[in-house]
Amino acid sequence: MFDFDATLPLMAVQFLILTVILNALLYKPLGQALDNRDEYIRTNLQQAKERLQQATELAQQYEQELASTRRQAQALIEEARAEAQKIATAEIAEAQQAVQAELLKIQAEIDQQKQATLQALEGQVASLSEQLLAKLLA
Amino acid sequence: MPLIHLWTALPFAKLEVGHHFYWHIGNLRVHGQVFITTWFVMAILIAAAFVASRKIQQVPSGIQNLMEYALEFIRDLTKSQMGEHEYRAWVPFVGTLFLFIFVCNWSGALVPWKLIELPEGELAAPTNDINTTVALALLVSLAYFYAGLRKRGLKYFTKYIEPTPVLLPIAILEDFTKPLSLSFRLFGNILADELVVGVLVLLVPLFVPLPVMALGLFTSAIQALVFATLAATYIGEAMEGHGGEHEGAHS
């Protein structure tokens, strides 16, 4: 069973030869392939991460722009409404003034006519009372 | 082993421990059956490696996928024992140890070698011959001496008197027990597994040996893993030294 002979060194030599052959056929090319794949996956992952980052940044930027645009629109609407309000108030005030003025003018006219009528009546009072008197005395 | 030789008449359940199919090269004797199965195993490994790396694809499939899985497993194993910086140079050695022992063990359990008649001895896993396991274990010893000397120069030998010279005999003894335990663990496990299966087949030829065979497959795989892991540990240990100079490198 423990029969040592030239098998021992020859096996060692054979094993070393096998190591050299497998190194050339297996470990080097396949190790290279494994490393390349690792590298490939790593760079791809890196790129994907960068792209995701860019996309997130872009989305954020758009969001911000959208928000600011919405705010501007809101401000514009507010401004327009205020303007319209102002114009409306001004026109109403003007119209009221015009109506007031017309009213005053008409009042004055009525007063004048009343005055005139009263004066005319007063003028006629004398003649009418004379006529009355004449009728009574007759 | 007279007990075992009682049953040598049965054709498929013959157990031949200590019988070898000798080849004579010059005035050297070698165990031919070990070389035949070793060449078979080497052919399988080289063929698999060749097919796997013939046209390498970005998205692996088939045998390339399988061998990449094996390679990644080996890389993880070496990395965990030697650390991120040193492991790459040792992947071929540790990986070949693992693959070679693994395929050897499984070839002994899965290939019906008994169908091939040899004049003497029998074909079996190369790892059930003590020559193979001692050769591998001595290579591991050389490897860790080489790794230590290359990494730390002559300071490598300070490991014998650190942390205290009192442990010098034990430190020296360790250099002998490491290959001894490595080789005998593997040899004993594989031989014992084949013997147990053989004896069970002798006693009950059908179905009963199957669970033991399955267990044998499991042990064989574990032994390959243990051998490769220990080899990587020894090499990593030799490179690391006792000093705290590389503390930060291994997190």
Residue A52 lies in a domain: yes
Inside any domain, residue A41: yes
Interface check B154 vs A, CB under 8 A: no
Interface check for A123 against chain B (CB to CB < 8 A): the answer is no
- Pick from B74, B25, B71, B26: nearest CA to B48: B71
If you average pLDDT over every residue of chain B, what do you get?
83
Residue B53, phi then psi, degrees to nearest 5: -105, 15
- Rounded to two decimals, what is the model's pTM? 0.74
- In chain B, whose CA is at the least distance from the CA of A12? B135
- Determine the pLDDT at residue A1: 64
Model confidence pLDDT, tens digit, residues A56-91: 999 999 999 999 999 999 999 999 999 999 999 999
pLDDT on residue B14 = 53
* pLDDT band for position B250 (cuts 50, 70, 90): very low
Average pLDDT over residues B56-63: 81
Nearest-10 crossing angle of helices B130-152, B209-240 = 20
- Is residue B141 very low, low, confident or very high in pLDDT (cuts 50, 70, 90)? very high
**CA A128 vs CA A133, A137, B42: distances in Å:** 8, 14, 161
- Percent of chain B whose predicted confidence (pLDDT) is above 90: 36
* Runs of H (alpha helix) within chain A: 7-22, 28-137
Interface contact flag, B30 A7, Cβ < 8 Å: yes
pLDDT of res. B11: 46
Mutation site for A-interface testing, chosen from B29, B35, B53, B146 by largest number of A Cβ within 10 Å = B53
Rounded to the nearest integer, the mean pLDDT of chain A is: 92
Q: Does residue A92 sit at the B interface (CB-CB below 8 Å)?
A: no
Say if residue A9 is exposed, middle or buried (CB neighbours under 10 Å; 0-12, 13-18, 19+): middle
Q: How many whole angstroms separate alpha carbon B94 and alpha carbon B106? A: 18
**CA geometry: angle at B144 spanning B160 and B79, to 5°?**
115
Is there a domain that residue A123 lies in? Answer: no
**CB distance B131–A5 less than 8 Å?**
yes
Please give the pLDDT value at position B76. 92
pLDDT band for position B19 (cuts 50, 70, 90) = confident
Bond from prior residue into B119 cis (ω within 30 degrees of 0): no
In angstroms, the CA B135 to CA B129 distance is: 10
Asked if the model's pLDDT at residue B128 lies above 90, the reply is no
Interface of B with A in 89-128 (CB under 8 A): 91-93, 95-96, 99-100, 126
Structural domain of A92: 14-106
Return the bridge partners of B25, or none. Answer: B28
Specify the pLDDT at position B6. Answer: 46
Asked if residue A127 belongs to a domain, the reply is no
CB contact under 8 A, A30 and B68: yes
**Does residue B7 surpass a pLDDT of 60?**
no
* Inter-chain CB proximity B131 and A37 less than 8 Å: no
B247 has pLDDT over 60: no
Instruction: Decide if A125 is inside a domain.
Output: no
Residue B15 is predicted with a pLDDT of 59
Instruction: Please name the member of B42, B71, B135 whose beta carbon is closest to the beta carbon of A12.
Output: B135
The dihedrals phi and psi of B20, each to the nearest 5 degrees, come to -130, 150
Alpha-carbon gap, residue B221 to B104, rounded angstroms: 10
> What are the distances in angstroms from CA A121 to CA A113, A128, A129, B163?
12, 10, 12, 148
Q: What CA–CA distance (Å, rounded) separates A11 from B1?
A: 27
Q: Does A136 touch chain B (CB under 8 A)?
A: no
Instruction: Inform me whether the pLDDT recorded for B73 exceeds 50.
Output: yes
- Kindly state the percentage of chain B with pLDDT values over 70: 88
Residue-level pLDDT at B241: 64
In chain B, which residue's Cα lies nearest the Cα of A34? B68
In a domain, A4, yes or no: no
Q: What is the pLDDT of residue A65?
A: 96
Of A114-128, B11-25, B143-157, B164-178, which range is least confident? B11-25
DSSP-derived secondary structure for B181-229: HHHHHHHHHHHHHHHHHHHHHHH--SSTHHHHHHHHHHHHHHHHHHHHH
Task: Tell me whether residues A8 and B131 touch, CB distance under 8 A.
Answer: yes
Q: What is the predicted pLDDT for the residue at A55?
A: 97
Chain A contact for B87 (CB, 8 A cutoff):
no
CB contact under 8 A, B45 and A33: no
pLDDT at A41: 94
Q: Quick check: A4 pLDDT over 50? A: yes
pLDDT band of residue B13 (cuts 50, 70, 90) is very low
| CB of B246 less than 8 A from some CB of A | no
Query: Does A121 fall in a domain?
Result: no
Coil, helix or strand at residue A51:
helix
* The two structure tokens encoding residue B192: 């014992």
Distance CA A95, CA A88 (A): 11
> CB distance from A38 to chain B under 8 Å?
no
What letter would DSSP give residue B118? -
- Percent of chain A residues topping a pLDDT of 70: 99
Please say whether the beta carbons of B17 and A2 come within 8 A.
no
Q: Do A18 and B72 touch (CB under 8 A)?
A: no
CB-based contact, B229 to chain A, within 8 Å: no
Confidence of residue B10 (pLDDT cuts 50, 70, 90): very low
Shortest distance between the Cα of B129 and any Cα of chain A, in A, equals 8
Q: Closest to A8 (Cβ–Cβ): which among B18, B92, B134? A: B134
Which among B112, B99, B137, B100 is positioned nearest to B230, based on CA atoms?
B137
Across the A:B interface, residue pairs with CB atoms under 8 Å apart total 113
pLDDT at residue number A49: 96
- Residue position matching structure tokens 């011959």: B129
Averaged pLDDT for residues B144-156 = 89
Answer for the pair B213, B197: CB distance below 8 angstroms, yes or no.
Answer: yes
Collapsing DSSP to helix, strand or coil, B163 comes out as coil
CA B129, CA B35: separation in Å to the nearest integer?
11
Among B35, B91, B139, select the one facing A15 at the smallest CB separation. Answer: B139
Are residues B196 and B216 in contact, defined by beta-carbon separation less than 8 angstroms?
A: yes
Question: ipTM of this model?
Answer: 0.81
Is residue B102 within 8 A of residue B221, CB to CB? The reply is yes
Q: Taking 60 as the threshold, does the pLDDT of residue B242 lie above it?
A: no
Q: Which two tokens stand for residue B25?
A: 């090269």
Q: Which of B50-59, B142-151, B220-229 has the lowest mean pLDDT?
A: B50-59
Counted domains in chain A: 1
Q: Of the ranges A75-79, A107-111, B28-32, B244-248, which one carries the lowest mean pLDDT score?
A: B244-248
Q: In this structure, is residue A118 part of a structural domain?
A: no
pLDDT of the residue at A8: 86
